[in-house]
Amino acid sequence: MDWIKAKKILSESLPVLILAPLLSLLAGVMLNSTLEGLARVPILLTLAPIFSGRAGDFGVIIASRLTSALHLGLIPPRLERNPVLRTYLLVDVTVILIAAVYVSLVLHFLSPVFGVPSVGLPFLLFITGLGFLIIVLVIFAVGVLVAIFTYASGLDPSNVSFPIVTAVGDVAGVATLILISRVLGLL
Amino acid sequence: MVGVNRRTRRLFTETLVGELVGISGSLLAGYGLAFMLDDLRSLPAFLVLVPAFLEMRGSISGASAARTATALHLGTITSRLEFSEELQTEIVVSTFLGIFLSAVLGVVAHFFSILLGFSSIGLIQLTVLSVVAGSVSSVIMLFAADFSSILFYRMGIDPNNVVGPYVAMLGDIVSIGSLFLGARFVLWVF
């Protein structure tokens, strides 16, 4: 047991490991305030980790790709239009729309097996398609900012930036899900 | 995709595969939540805790797996599954973090809920629920994240490329399962 090393890991990671879940508590608060609605339409509760997960995943994917690209000098550390960013965005939007179709199909056909009634395939396609699209666009911006910040400050992305990005993803994901469900009159 | 170069196609395929793995984990976690609906309703403020608990679990296991992968490459943790000093440190640190932060989250989730005018099952109850779930998931994820990195490395697979999405997927499922056990424990004791 190496106590010096243990102390180093703890002192580096504790602040972020406390701060990030505190941010995620906001997502929990939003879910909790709609609990009765979620109980009426439980498939929305099933969608909650999926929305949060996608937002967190894409945030980390974008931030880590850009951090590497910045270190390699592929893109300049400035906010401007450039072909690398455009390719990333196109790839991510395509992937997320395929993911939306996958989630909708699985949810529609598998949910009754788990005792969770479906709200219909068109509804699911609309919620996930629009929701994922909003998430990618919002989180893309977050990822770009975080990458530039991480690059400029010289922080270790896996210890500092990524936990914060996944926490922001939790909040963005749940907020998007609740918003769309409200607009569709499901909640 | 016509006119798309090889690098873009590879980027697309890797992102898509990673996402489909991640979504499958989130789907199971989502079904787990729907399955716990009765417990979520009978234990007020429990749901406030859920996303934060998942986030904490993911951050600890992800970072721990990444450190183990680096140590394997550097040779400070060997693939012979012996309890080297480095591995002992990793086990102690990630277990301590998992249990300590669960307690912090339980306490904060309780006061957060009260402050915002929600009801809560109570400070002790919510903290016990979180700590039980934190302990169970710490032990499972220790084997799932760190020891599986070692196994991947032994099989000649670079853990850096596999463990990220795999740990995230497993972390979601294990967290929801552990939270369910924690909830059952609290309902049984109190």
- The residue ranking higher by pLDDT, A133 or A72, is A133
Residue A22 backbone class (left: φ over 0; alpha: ψ -120 to 50; beta: rest): alpha
- The residue ranking higher by pLDDT, A99 or A9, is A99
User: Is residue A113 in some structural domain?
Assistant: yes
- The residue ranking higher by pLDDT, A147 or B128, is B128
Give percent of chain A above pLDDT 70. 97
Q: What is the mean pLDDT of each run of 10 residues along chain B (190 residues)?
A: 73 87 91 94 95 92 85 82 80 91 96 94 97 96 83 82 78 95 95
Closest CA to B135 of B168, B89, B181, B166: B181
How many CB atoms within 10 Å of residue B20?
15
pLDDT (tens digit per residue) in A85-106: 888 899 999 999 999 999 999 9
User: Is residue A45 in some structural domain?
Assistant: yes
User: Is residue A124 in some structural domain?
Assistant: yes
Chain B residue numbers touching A94 (CB-CB < 8 A) = 12
Domain that holds residue A88: 41-183
User: Is residue A50 in some structural domain?
Assistant: yes
Domains of chain B: 12-189 (1.10.357.20)
Type of residue found at A133: L
What average pLDDT does this structure show over A26-47? 95
What average pLDDT does this structure show over A162-168? 87
What average pLDDT does this structure show over A135-157? 84
User: Is residue A36 in some structural domain?
Assistant: no
User: Is residue A126 in some structural domain?
Assistant: yes
**B30 → closest Cβ in A10, A35, A47:** A47
What average pLDDT does this structure show over A52-71? 85
Does residue A158 register a pLDDT over 70?
Answer: no
CATH number at residue A117: 1.10.357.20
At A155 the pLDDT is 75
Q: Does any CB of chain B come closer than 8 Å to the CB of residue A37?
A: no
At B109 the pLDDT is 96
> What mean pLDDT value characterizes chain A?
89
User: Is residue A111 in some structural domain?
Assistant: yes
CA distance A75 to A40: 48
User: Is residue A18 in some structural domain?
Assistant: no
Tally of domains within chain A = 1
Q: Do the Cβ atoms of B31 and A114 come within 8 Å?
A: yes
Run of H or E residues at B101: helix B85-115
At B1 the pLDDT is 46
Q: Do the Cβ atoms of A29 and B116 come within 8 Å?
A: yes
